[in-house]
Amino acid sequence: MNDINHIITIVFAVCYYAVALFLVRKTRFTTKNLCLCGIVIAMTIILDSIRIPLPTGATIALCSPVPLMLLATVTDYRHAIISGWVVGILAMFLIPVWYPVHWGQVFVEHLICFSSLGFTGVFGTDKRYKILGGMVLASVLKIVGHTLSGVLFFSQNAWAGWDAWGYSLAYNFSQNIPLCILSSLVILVLPIKTIRYVAAEER
């Protein structure tokens, strides 16, 4: 069973990075793009540091996906994917709950669960339903990354009578499903066109 878990995780991670690297292969940054990404990275780190504890032992961050989702929606989703990788690296040093217990966790969870939020804009951002579809994809990728990380690296914390999969699903669903739903609702109620217009004027 342990070998199967490793195979599933490796296949998911390889496919994810192959697609993500393909999408960002020709990305270019202007000075203003870099400044905007820096602000988004800082906001994500700050929001992810503010957490609400849950009875399961998990914690819900304060809408930390919103900055990266918004960046993917109003400017360029490729910038959001790359910014997510930067956040994943910085989180290891700046957010205590993101301290890795194994080097493999960095590639399965840290670098995937933040950069996946950039997929919010992968279907287009001119229609609300396209943004919604992107947010669903981004949320699923994020939750899968967390869950696989829980199965591989945190199974020793499973509650009595729970196997690795049951524990990881319960733990990660309890914190990430509400977080992703709330963050998606925030994005959907924001005046995207106005924000996009302002961002374009700034550039």
pLDDT by residue (tens digit) across 122-137? Answer: 999 888 899 999 999 9
User: Domain 2-202 adopts which CATH fold?
Assistant: Arp2/3 complex 21 kDa subunit ARPC3 (1.10.1760)
Supply the pLDDT for residue 3.
Answer: 84
pLDDT of amino acid 58:
85
pTM > 0.85? yes
**Cβ neighbours for 120, distance < 8 A, ≥ 6 positions apart:** 68, 69, 72, 73, 77, 80, 131, 134, 135, 137, 138, 187
Task: Examine the pLDDT at 67 and tell me if it is beyond 80.
Answer: yes
Q: How many helices (H) and strands (E) does the chain have?
A: 9, 2
Q: Pick the residue with more confidence: 14 or 188?
A: 14
What pLDDT sits at residue 194?
82
* Max Cα distance, the chain (Å): 57
Above 90 in pLDDT, residue 173?
A: yes
- Domain layout of the chain by residue ranges: 2-202
What pLDDT does residue 1 have?
A: 61
pLDDT of residue 143: 97
Check pLDDT > 90 for residue 45.
yes
Task: Identify the pLDDT of residue 201.
Answer: 60
The per-residue pLDDT of the chain, averaged, comes to: 92
pLDDT band at 57 (very low <50, low <70, confident <90, very high): confident
Q: Express each pLDDT in 139-168 by its tens digit.
A: 999 999 999 999 999 988 899 889 999 999
What pLDDT shows up at residue 182?
A: 95
pLDDT-based confidence at residue 197 (cuts at 50, 70, 90): confident
Token pair listed for 75: 């400017």
Decide: residue 93, CB within 10 A, 0-12 exposed, 13-18 middle, 19+ buried: exposed
Q: List pLDDT tens digits, range 92-110.
A: 999 988 989 999 999 999 9
The end-to-end CA distance of the chain, in Å, is 52
